[in-house]
Structure 1
Amino acid sequence: MRAQVVLFDGFDPMDAVAPYEVLYAGGTASGGALEVELVSAEGAREVPSGNGMTVWATAALDPGAADVVVLPGAVGAMPDPASEEVDENSIPAILGRTLTTALPGLIGEVLERPGALLATVCGGSLVPAMAGLIEGRRATTHHMGADFLEATGTVHVDARVVDDGDLVTAAGVTSGLDLGLYLLERELGPRIALSVERLFAHERRGVVWRAEGLEPVS
């Protein structure tokens, strides 16, 4: 199995590194059943994050070969809803600039390919949402971006991790650890996930939301 964690200009390092580390450890624990790499839409390059850290993407995002694609959010502030000025350093603006790159088209190919899985951390879900790729789908994001996500036509679910089939999204920045562990459980099984959970001394929080079972009456 091949996983690719996508980097773009202004990305949040924690959003990318946390699931990368978990998936890498899962590959080791499984004897190489999972390989993970850092990629960009443009190919191998140095990618500036939003907090001054630069990370090297070793390859290009390949929607025809990646079984799991993880998309991080960005570093920045949420815009003031009372202001009419556009803050170019706000998270929506930074994520919006990815729409002018090849990234949305590549993400669309991932979602169209049977068996492939798109996962996002924090504001990462806003990229396919703003591109119109997940309208009507259920997803989560950082709580400060929930209204923005819903404005795109995506159905916001207030949960730490939301599993909507080939779309798995996680909420705030530290939920990238929980996302990675859930992906290991889902794709490689609970024994691999538990071994990595113990290695990282991190217990997943909350219940993963899925459209299954009885619906609450209130």
Structure 2
Amino acid sequence: MLNRSFPALAISGSVLFALVLVGCSERPEADKESKSPTGLQVCGQFLGAENVRRAVDAVDGGDANATARNSPGQLAAALTLEAEKWSVDDLLYHPYSACRLDIPAEGGGTHVIQAQVKWSALTFDSMSEPKYAKSWRQVNDQVFVEPQAGQPIMRLLVACEVPGVASEQEAELPLQMTIMDPGLAVEQRQALLSTFARTLVDELACTGDPVVPAQLIR
């Protein structure tokens, strides 16, 4: 009797031990997922968490659905790789969406706030040409801004030489950031844009330490 029950007990004990091991092996993955930043948190890393909160509140809609597929470090790595492959004959550059906020509007529809970045086909020398000088304003020696008056969009150019790339890159290939929104106050738009620019300048470790001020429009 005792001999017959022992194998059953041993099997039951083995099953229980296996279940405990499965539970232990699954727990780290669950913990890892719970610690992964949400899209809204990544948007905050790019644009400033308080800036994002104020922008969403200003739209006065529902809860924001945030899409941010790459962290600032990952996006900087992609931009660095593109700069390393750059040549003076290149004219088209891949735009990257850093953050997109979709906010339900009352009565239907969606308010969208989006931050994009790419290497620009524009150069600092082209800013003196009449067609660009009308809309682009010089902030300092390293930064130009295009407010596009009356439009819910603002763009910024910053001289950013990536360490280890062609020496012409800083002058011929500035970094271009864009903020598009459903009609935020100019102060909120420039707060998002200037923070976005400073985040990427830091992540890219631009030589010369370009200064992007908080106040882009005077």
TM-score by length of 2: 0.30
Structure (1/2) with the larger helix percentage: 2
Larger Rg: 2
